[in-house]
Amino acid sequence: MASNHEVAAIFREIADLLEVKGEVVYKYGAYREAARQIEAYATPVTTLAAERRLREIPRVGEAIAAKIAEYIKTGRMEYLDRVRSEVPPGLVDLLHVPGLGAKKIQALHRAIGITSLADLEEALRAGRVRDLPGMGEKTESNLLDEIGRLRARVQRHPIGIARPEAEEVVDALKASCPTVHAIDIAGSLRRWRDTIGDIDIIVASATPIDVLAAFVVLPMVRDVLAHGDTKASILTFRDLQIDLRVVAPVEFGAAILYFTGSKAHNVRLRALAQRRGWTLNEYALTEEATGRVIASESEEAIYHALDLAWIPPELREDLGEFELAASGDVPRLIEASDIDGELHCHTDWSDGHLTLDATVAEAERRGLRYLAITDHSQSLAMVRGLTPERARLQWAAIDAVNRRGGPTRILKGVELEILPNGSLDFPDDVLRGFDLVIASIHSGFRQDRETMTKRIVGALRNPHVDVIGHPTGRRVGRRDPYEVDMNAVLRAAAETGTAVEINANPERLDMDDAHARAAAALGVTIPINTDAHGADNFDLLRYGVATGRRAGLRPENVLNTRGLDELLSWLARPTTPA
């Protein structure tokens, strides 16, 4: 069964093929935009096709809707097959080589028969590219370097790797350059996307040469890729490319707005400016006829001039934020400071690294009002999952901690395995003894969509299950989600009053922002949990909060913003059984 992600990938491929062919930008751009909207749309394309509602997806017109319907019905798309037949498949890979655009790729293909990255590398090493128009020895050398870097690094990096690296650069430049007036991370990293390409950082300073000189000698720099008067690029030892741009302080607002993106958000902003006879770029919002600068120093001033409320970076994807900003209804998004407690945490009773007492001490140090200890259940024997007998021993230990009267209330929880046959790892008479039950999947990932969906829905219909943990099983950059109908899962969660978590570990971020947005729309309660296995894992909360912000979540959407009494009341709620 075709998923939104699968259909979106097809349209991205069509866009790449059309770009390599040399089609006009609006043609391949239309397919890229359709892919983006399809991937973000909450309702499955299969449902929309069956109900003849495909054109409800923004940017999906009659022609694209017909192609989606054809693919769902036949498993093929005649247009895709035709375009594939017209372009050697390896040429698309060349779009990822910095310095190569569609025109140069076409020229290389026509002149010397390049059809793949391997062909290009061989031709470059043989000196067969330098004599082509617009090339030369320097370009040849640069392209060889870029291919080497391309092969050496992953194209997109998990945010959990990219964010700390970028923050290290920001902190180092603040410490070493007194002339840094302002500095911020830009691009998809500022929007907290779960994977990142290159990292963009913007600095406001009156002395760009000093800032760039400090940047290119930072300890994490492996290679300096470029070093100019206002821009520099480096490659870190973690194979992350970081691009730094220095602007005048008066231009900082326009620059950080422009380089934060997204592209779709910026297109909408520029269109609003153009309707007023203004231009908007990385330097300023300017009156076109006179050149008068209307706003540039802050993002807030630019949005205000366009009669918009300031839009948080996490929402800047052209997925409804402009309508909210125009009406003054941009929500007060969830913040880490709103979180009162942690509802998913492991100790050394299973695969955690800390004892129960040490885990409690860490929670108290961080000011948490409550902490659920949720060690694994017995089927995960490789991590010493709890048997019913050991669970009862742990309950006694937790009771002893609570009798000490510390500031953090400890809840008896479990991360309960949903077994491949759909049954749960503990019987109901054991589950009744827990304060909180998270049901999760850690095995049987290759089951088909229908089986996996029934497996999860069956679990959340058990009246003792409070939360579904990391519901798609993905590992960002390492493992794709298993096949599951998340719309069916979320509908069932709404019916039963079961919560579905955002797992804040940056290797998971599961639910993702699209699913969390759909969950909130259905009224599903969402805890944001760190799934902590050690003291430093509590710091991962910010990644889950950012995912919630990308989904537009308010504090009231999130279970663990509630105070202890309100949480206990929710845990005691009547539930809808199977």
Name the residue with higher pLDDT: 12 or 367.
367
3-state SS of 149-200 is HHHHCCCCEEHHHHHHHHHHHHHHHHHHCCCEEEEEECHHHHCCCCEECCEE
Please give the mean pLDDT across all residues of the chain: 93
336 in Cβ contact with 541 (< 8 Å)? yes
Candidates 548, 503, 58; CA nearest to 315 is 548
Which pLDDT value is given to residue 362? 98
In a 13 Å sphere around the CA of 125, the CA atoms on its Cβ side amount to: 8
Which pLDDT value is given to residue 221? 87
Map residue 2 onto helix, strand or coil.
coil
Phi, psi of 188 (to 5 degrees): -65, -20
Average pLDDT estimate for 116-137: 88
- Residues facing residue 467 across a β-bridge: 438, 499
In the predicted structure, residue 153 carries a pLDDT above the cut 70: no
* Planar angle of CA 430, 489, 518, nearest 5 degrees: 130
Q: Hey, what long-range contacts does 124-132 have (CB within 8 A, 24 or more apart)?
A: 132/107, 132/108
Average pLDDT estimate for 353-370: 97
> Parallel, antiparallel, or unpaired: how do β-strands 341-342 and 293-295 relate?
unpaired
pLDDT digits (tens, 9 = 90+) for 7-65: 988 998 899 999 888 888 888 989 999 998 998 888 889 999 999 999 999 989 999 99
Q: Could you count the other beta carbons within 10 Å of the beta carbon of residue 404?
A: 9
523 in Cβ contact with 512 (< 8 Å)? no
Q: How far apart are the C-alpha atoms of 568 and 435, rounded to whole Å?
A: 9
Question: Residue 152: which pLDDT band, with cuts at 50, 70 and 90?
Answer: low
Phi, psi of 185 (to 5 degrees): -75, 140
Which pLDDT value is given to residue 434? 98
In the predicted structure, residue 154 carries a pLDDT above the cut 60: no
The residue whose two tokens read 């017909």 is: 66
In the predicted structure, residue 348 carries a pLDDT above the cut 90: yes
CB proximity list for 61: less than 8 A, separation 6 or greater: 55
316 in Cβ contact with 262 (< 8 Å)? yes
Name the residue with higher pLDDT: 294 or 104.
294
Which pLDDT value is given to residue 98? 75
In the predicted structure, residue 421 carries a pLDDT above the cut 70: yes
Candidates 191, 214, 198, 186; CA nearest to 162 is 198
Average pLDDT estimate for 117-127: 90
Which pLDDT value is given to residue 103? 84
Q: In the chain, pLDDT over 70 holds for what percent of residues? A: 98
Q: Could you count the other beta carbons within 10 Å of the beta carbon of residue 409?
A: 19
Average pLDDT estimate for 136-155: 78
pLDDT digits (tens, 9 = 90+) for 209-244: 999 999 999 988 889 999 999 999 999 888 899 999
pTM of the entire predicted model? 0.80
Average pLDDT estimate for 279-296: 97
Report the residue count for the chain.
Answer: 578
Q: In the chain, pLDDT over 90 holds for what percent of residues? A: 77
Which pLDDT value is given to residue 577? 57
- Residues facing residue 342 across a β-bridge: 371
The CA distances from residue 203 to 228, 315, 470, in Å, are 14, 23, 37
Q: How far apart are the C-alpha atoms of 88 and 116, rounded to whole Å?
A: 8
Which pLDDT value is given to residue 1? 67
Map residue 242 onto helix, strand or coil.
strand
Q: How far apart are the C-alpha atoms of 104 and 113, rounded to whole Å?
A: 12
Q: How far apart are the C-alpha atoms of 522 and 476, rounded to whole Å?
A: 25
Q: Could you count the other beta carbons within 10 Å of the beta carbon of residue 414?
A: 28
Q: How far apart are the C-alpha atoms of 353 and 535, rounded to whole Å?
A: 8
Which domains does the chain show, CATH number per domain? 4-86 (1.10.150.110), 89-152 (1.10.150.20), 157-247 (3.30.460.10), 254-327 (3.30.210.10), 336-571 (3.20.20.140)
In the predicted structure, residue 149 carries a pLDDT above the cut 80: no
Question: Residue 576: which pLDDT band, with cuts at 50, 70 and 90?
Answer: low
* Planar angle of CA 17, 19, 20, nearest 5 degrees: 65
In the predicted structure, residue 201 carries a pLDDT above the cut 90: yes
- Residue 339, H or E segment: none
pLDDT digits (tens, 9 = 90+) for 433-485: 999 999 999 999 989 999 999 999 999 999 999 999 999 999 887 778 999 99
